[in-house]
Amino acid sequence: MFHIYCPYCEEYREEEEFHPKGQAHIARPADPEACTDEQWGDYLFFRDNPRGIHHELWVHAVGCRKFFNITRNTVSYEILETYKMGEQPRFTAEYPEGKPDEQVAAEKVAAEAAGVERQEGVKA
Amino acid sequence: MSEQTANWFNLYDARPDTEVPAESPLAWSYQNSGRPSVSQRSRVVLRERPMLGHLILRGGAIVLDEAVRRVLGFGVPGRPNSLSQDEGGERSIQWLSPDEWLLIVPGGEEFSLESRLREALGDAHYAIVNVSGGQTLLELEGDKARELLMKSTPYDVHPDAFPVGKGVTTVFAKSNLILRRPTETRWELVLRRSFADYCYRWILDAGREYAIGVEA
C-alpha cells in the first residue's frame, strides 16, 4: 500500500482513497486540425513506459477529488514527490536526485506568472 | 450582466411547508434493521439528526468568505480538513476541497440562507447547491465511539491526528463519508442517502460488542 501525500489536503492518506490516471504532463495539441494523424495518434494513445522516474496523474477520488501529479520510481515504487496541477516536478530523469533549489524557485516564479488566470475560483 | 446572472439558476424551496411528509434516508432502515435501545451497558450511542439543511458552496475562498461572514457571522475555514461552527454549534462550515465547502444549518433555514448568500455574492463566480435531500447526519458518542471508528475507517482517528475542529472525507467500511469531530466527545458522520442503510447496518454490527444504542 502507498501512503500518498495529497498536496491539496496537505496530509498523507491511504492509497485506497486515490485512483491513478496515467501519464502526467500530456498537453493537448494547440491546433488539433493542423496535426498529422501520427501526431494525433501519439497524443491520444501512446504513453511512455520508463524504467525509473515516471510522472503520473492521480486523483484523490475519496477526499478532495482534485487531480495532482506524482513522481514515482517504477523500479522501487518509491514516491519521490507529489505536486499540484500546473507545477513542475523537482525529480526528473535528468535530475534523479532533485533539481537544485535555485532552478526550482525560478520555475515556480515562471509558472505562477503564467498560471494566475488559470487558477480555480479566482475569476470573480 | 446581473439580470442575466440572476436568470441562470432556478432557486426554489426544495421543502415547502405543505402536507407532504418528509422522511429521513434511514426511515426504512429503522424498520428493517431495528433500533437497539440505549441501556446502562451502552458504551456507544448513535443519534441521527435528520432533515438538516446541507448546502455545497463552490468558488474562491476569499469571495465566499466575505459573503458567508456577512450573512452568517462566521467565515469559511481556509485550512484543509477544518471545520468552523457558530457559537451554539448549530451551524457549521467544513472544508471539503480547495474550492468547496459544506454548510450545514438547522432544517428549514437552507432556502432563505441560500437566497441571502446569492444576494451577497452578486456577480461573483460561484455555485451553491442544496444537497439536503441527498445526505443525512449521524452523531456518535460514548467512550467506545473512537474504537468503532477504528474498525471502520483507515483514517487515523487518534486525538493527536484528529483534533476537535477537524473534518475529512474518507473511506468508511466499503463506502465513503464525511467524518468530523465538532466537540471533544462527539463525532459526526455525513452519509449519502444511497449509502445510509449500508452504513447504518455496518455501524450497528460494529457497535454490537459495545452494546450500541440508537436514540430516537
Q: Does B129 fall in a domain?
A: yes
| Bigger pLDDT: B60 vs B19 | B60
Say if the Cβ atoms of B171 and A14 lie within 8 Å. yes
* B104-131: average pLDDT: 94
| Bigger pLDDT: B3 vs B42 | B42
Selection from B109, B114, B101, B112 nearest residue B75 by Cα: B101
Chain B CB contacts of A8 under 8 Å are 80, 97-98
Say if the Cβ atoms of B97 and A13 lie within 8 Å. no
| Bigger pLDDT: B88 vs B16 | B88
pLDDT score at B155: 96
Count CB neighbours of B121 within 10 A. 23
Residue type, A96: P
pLDDT score at A44: 96
Is residue B3's pLDDT more than 80?
A: no
Confidence of residue B17 (pLDDT cuts 50, 70, 90): confident
Is residue A58's pLDDT more than 90?
A: yes
Say if the Cβ atoms of B98 and A124 lie within 8 Å. no
**CA–CA dist B216, B68 (Å, integer):** 33
* B133-137: average pLDDT: 95
3-class secondary structure per residue, B162-203: CCCCEEEEEEECCEEEEEEECCCCCEEEEEEHHHHHHHHHHH
Number of structural domains chain B divides into: 1
Q: In this complex, is the C-beta atom of A86 within 8 Å of any C-beta atom belonging to chain B?
A: no
Confidence of residue B168 (pLDDT cuts 50, 70, 90): very high
Is residue A124's pLDDT more than 90?
A: no
* A37-49: average pLDDT: 95
Q: Does B123 fall in a domain?
A: yes
Say if the Cβ atoms of B99 and A121 lie within 8 Å. yes
Structural domain boundaries of chain A? Answer: 3-118
Instruction: Name the E strands within chain A.
Output: 3-6, 11-14, 19-23, 53-59, 67-73, 79-84
Say if the Cβ atoms of A9 and B124 lie within 8 Å. no
pLDDT score at B150: 97
Does the pTM exceed 0.80?
Answer: yes
Instruction: Please enumerate, as own/partner, the contacts of B67-72 that have beta carbons within 8 Å and a separation of 24 or more.
Output: B67/B117, B67/B120, B67/B121, B67/B124, B68/B93, B68/B103, B68/B117, B70/B120, B71/B113, B71/B116, B71/B117, B71/B120, B72/B113
Say if the Cβ atoms of B99 and A9 lie within 8 Å. no
Q: At what angle do helices B110-121 and B61-72 cross, to 10 degrees?
A: 130
* A85-102: average pLDDT: 90
pLDDT score at A119: 55
Percentage of chain B exceeding pLDDT 70: 96
pLDDT score at B13: 86
Confidence of residue A118 (pLDDT cuts 50, 70, 90): low
| Buried b / exposed e along B93-105 (16+ C-beta atoms within 10 A) | bbbbbbbbbbbbb
Percentage of chain A exceeding pLDDT 90: 73
Q: In this complex, is the C-beta atom of A62 within 8 Å of any C-beta atom belonging to chain B?
A: yes
User: Considering CB atoms only, which of B60, B97, B168 is closest to A122?
Assistant: B60
Confidence of residue B7 (pLDDT cuts 50, 70, 90): low
Tell which of B56, B79, B96, B99 to mutate to test the A interface (max A CBs under 10 Å): B99
Q: Does B7 fall in a domain?
A: no
Across all residues in chain A, what is the average pLDDT?
Answer: 90
Q: In this complex, is the C-beta atom of A63 within 8 Å of any C-beta atom belonging to chain B?
A: yes
Q: In this complex, is the C-beta atom of A3 within 8 Å of any C-beta atom belonging to chain B?
A: no
Q: Does B84 fall in a domain?
A: yes
* B58-74: average pLDDT: 95
**CA–CA dist B11, B83 (Å, integer):** 27
Is residue A115's pLDDT more than 90?
A: no
Is residue B135's pLDDT more than 90?
A: yes
**CA–CA dist B200, B216 (Å, integer):** 14
* A21-26: average pLDDT: 95
The CATH H-level superfamily of A3-118 is: Folate-binding superfamily (3.30.2270.10)
Q: Does B140 fall in a domain?
A: yes
User: Considering CB atoms only, which of A10, A64, A123 is closest to B96?
Assistant: A64
Is residue A123's pLDDT more than 50?
A: no
Confidence of residue A37 (pLDDT cuts 50, 70, 90): very high
pLDDT score at B53: 95
CATH number at residue B144: 3.30.1360.120
Chain A CB contacts of B81 under 8 Å are 9-11
